């Protein structure tokens, strides 16, 4: 985020963060992480909106009607998708919290990308009909995920969720968008103490984002 003279005089400006949570278990570690994200951001004076995809019943699969509408000027047919797009357009910080499954994001989050990043939102066409970012209001991307496997295994297999958030999504926000990645590897064999230390780390990072 670029600091202005006013920022230097009065401190960091207030952000509006949209937090996307993708884990079906309300008792999950992802939910605990999300709560620390909220606490940290609000403690720093920022506005926070949390959208729990599973709790909201967000549909992962695009319907036939949505696919047919995708290339039109009215690609959004679901009111819930429209709500999420409205939040996207109002945010300047986008935070994703999810468990890494099969070397990628959960299906519901993949569906969220497919159904929200439509023309006029995730991308637009300029006068020369070239694709340009549609979410230039997003100044920072944050990915927070847990892995059952250790770092070496994840690196060998590939981390498609990280690529999606830190690379592919910047096609929609602009290459100047700053990104933060907070991974927790080897969670399946991790002690409770180390998990709590990670939660503390997340909260500290959100306070200074």
Instruction: Give the mean pLDDT of 172-201.
Output: 94
Q: Is the separation of the CB atoms in 117 and 84 below 8 Å?
A: no
Q: What is the rounded average pLDDT for all residues in the chain?
A: 91
Q: Could you give all domains of the chain from N- to C-terminal order, each with its CATH number?
A: 5-207 (3.40.50.360)
Confidence of residue 6 (pLDDT cuts 50, 70, 90): very low
DSSP of the chain: ----HHHHHH-SPP-EEEEEE--S-TTSHHHHHHHHHHHHHHHTT-EEEEEEHHHHT---SPPHHHHHHTTSS-----HHHHHHHHHHHH-SEEEEEEE-BTTB--HHHHHHHHHHS-BTTTEEE-TT--EEES-TT--EEEEEEE-SS-HHHHHHH--HHHHIIIIITHHHH-TT-EEEEEEE--GGG--HHHHHHHHHHHHHHHHT-
- Taking the alpha carbons at both ends of the chain, their separation in whole angstroms is 10
Confidence of residue 10 (pLDDT cuts 50, 70, 90): low
Instruction: Give the mean pLDDT of 44-65.
Output: 97
pLDDT at site 5: 37
Burial of 159 from C-beta contacts in 10 A (0-12 / 13-18 / 19+):
buried
Specify the pTM.
0.90
Token couple for 61: 């699969």
Give the whole-angstrom CA distance, residue 57 versus residue 55: 6
pLDDT at site 154: 83
User: 């929609």: which residue's tokens?
Assistant: 172
Residue 72 vs residue 2, higher pLDDT: 72
pLDDT at site 149: 85
pLDDT digits (tens, 9 = 90+) for 98-134: 999 999 999 999 999 999 999 999 988 887 778 899 9
Buried b (16+ CB within 10 A) or exposed e, 167-183: eebbbbbeeebebeebb
User: 């797009």: which residue's tokens?
Assistant: 85
Confidence of residue 12 (pLDDT cuts 50, 70, 90): low
């Amino acid at each position: 985020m670029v600091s202005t003279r006013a920022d230097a005089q009065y401190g960091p400006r207030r952000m509006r963060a949209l937090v996307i949570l993708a884990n079906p278990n309300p008792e999950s570690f992802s939910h605990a992480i999300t709560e620390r994200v909220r606490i940290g951001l609000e403690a720093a004076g920022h506005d926070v909106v949390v959208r729990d995809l599973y709790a909201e019943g967000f549909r992962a699969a695009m319907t036939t009607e949505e696919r047919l509408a995708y290339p039109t000027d009215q690609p959004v047919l679901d009111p819930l998708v429209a709500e999420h797009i409205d939040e996207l357009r109002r945010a300047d910080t986008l935070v994703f919290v999810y468990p890494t499954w099969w070397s990628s994001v959960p299906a519901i989050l993949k569906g969220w990308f497919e159904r929200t990043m439509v023309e006029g939102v995730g991308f637009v066409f300029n006068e020369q009909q070239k694709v340009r970012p549609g979410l230039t209001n997003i100044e920072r991307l944050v990915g927070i995920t847990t892995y059952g496997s250790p770092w070496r295994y994840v690196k060998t297999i590939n981390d498609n969720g990280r690529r999606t958030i830190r690379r592919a999504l910047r096609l929609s926000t602009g290459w100047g968008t700053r990104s933060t990645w907070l991974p927790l590897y080897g969670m399946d064999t991790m002690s409770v103490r180390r998990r709590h230390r990670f939660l503390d780390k997340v909260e500290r990072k959100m306070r200074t984002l």
